[in-house]
């Protein structure tokens, strides 16, 4: 990847200038969809932006020493790694990438969940620690399925380069893997029925209980960026390119929004699972689909040879 292209991806599209307004819009779509499912009016279009500005004007809890630096570092690092992840998403595959950039992208997508857990353990709140332990349990169980699906897509496509993976192939392994990834997204975004780590009625805001002000504003922004990065990753692996950049960008945005509406609708229509049930759900699907993925990969490689 050329340096100029990398900088444009990071700072312009799909990076900073595009990603931040898109993150606020995705938060709006999520909240509006849930509100409509509950027969409420929901927030206005600019409400996530208003909330961000309002939080910037509020005071954050006062910590001292290294604890203060760590509490501020986790949300800032989450935003930074998600912007870097968005820069790797191959909306225009012709721009290329580098060998093994899929591995880097998956690593960047996993880091915000780790920072979220560390935020809870860093805080003084027992609710934060309980939320972090729940997040760790759910992340471990869902990531087995997530990483297995990603590996199957890469192995059956014979590449770990995103620009090549972004060329959709009429392969059952590709669609099965994408379906499994979509199944993991609610756990990564802490949506119902997998919102156990931030269950307001049980543990307040979980790992974010001690956060407010500008630090909480960054966490809200990171949540919107996670929506964009995870939906963008799935969509970039599935939609056919026309060769016209504006058209491709429009299709990409439309499909990402459609995925947000779908998952928000499921979240509004389901009740929260207990942590035990959530973990059992993902382990059951992980084992089942791991066997299916292995058989599919072996069969497709045998056919290809």
pLDDT in tens, the chain (305 residues): 567 776 777 777 777 888 999 999 999 999 999 999 999 999 999 999 999 999 998 887 777 778 888 999 999 999 999 999 998 898 886 656 666 689 999 999 999 999 999 999 998 889 999 999 999 999 999 998 899 889 888 888 888 888 888 876 667 778 888 999 999 999 999 999 999 888 777 878 889 988 989 999 999 999 999 999 999 999 998 888 887 888 988 999 999 999 999 999 999 999 999 999 999 999 888 778 777 777 776 776 666 55
Q: Measure CA of the first residue to CA of the last residue in the chain; give whole Å.
A: 31
**What's the CA gap between 16 and 80, in Å, rounded?**
10
Which domain, by its residues, includes 206?
A: 3-162+169-304
The first and second tokens of residue 280, run together, are: 């059992």
Single pTM value for the model? 0.91
Q: Residue 246: how many CB atoms within 10 A of its CB?
A: 8
Give the total number of structural domains in the chain: 1
In this prediction, residue 303 carries a pLDDT of 62
Whether residue 55 contacts residue 216, with contact meaning beta carbons closer than 8 Å, is answered with: yes
């Amino acid at each position: 990847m050329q340096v100029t292209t990398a900088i444009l991806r990071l700072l312009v599209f799909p990076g900073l200038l595009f990603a931040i307004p898109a993150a606020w819009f995705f938060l709006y779509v999520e909240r509006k969809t849930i509100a409509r499912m509950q027969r409420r009016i929901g927030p206005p279009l600019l409400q996530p932006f208003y909330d961000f500005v309002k939080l910037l004007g509020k005071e954050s809890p006062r910590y001292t020493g290294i604890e203060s630096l760590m509490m501020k570092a986790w949300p800032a690092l989450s935003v930074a790694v998600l912007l870097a992840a968005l820069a790797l998403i191959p909306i225009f595959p012709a721009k290329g990438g580098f060998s093994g950039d899929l591995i880097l992208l998956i690593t960047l997508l996993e880091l915000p969940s780790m920072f979220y857990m560390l935020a809870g353990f860093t805080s003084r709140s027992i609710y934060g620690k309980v939320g972090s332990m729940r997040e760790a349990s759910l992340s471990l169980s869902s990531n087995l399925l997530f990483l297995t699906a990603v590996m199957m897509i890469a192995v059956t496509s014979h590449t770990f380069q995103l620009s090549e993976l972004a060329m959709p192939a009429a392969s059952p392994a590709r669609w099965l893997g994408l379906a499994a990834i979509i199944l993991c997204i609610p756990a990564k975004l802490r949506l119902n029925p997998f919102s156990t780590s931030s269950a307001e009625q049980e543990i307040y805001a979980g790992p974010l209980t001690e956060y407010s002000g500008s630090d909480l504003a960054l966490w809200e922004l990171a949540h919107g960026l996670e929506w964009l990065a995870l939906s963008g990753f799935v969509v970039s692996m599935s939609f056919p390119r026309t060769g016209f950049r504006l058209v491709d960008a429009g299709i990409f945005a439309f499909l990402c929004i459609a995925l947000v509406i779908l998952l928000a609708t499921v979240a509004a229509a389901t009740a929260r699972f207990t942590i035990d049930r959530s973990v059992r759900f993902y382990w059951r699907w992980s084992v089942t689909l791991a066997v299916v993925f292995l058989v599919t990969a072996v069969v497709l490689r045998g056919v290809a040879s």
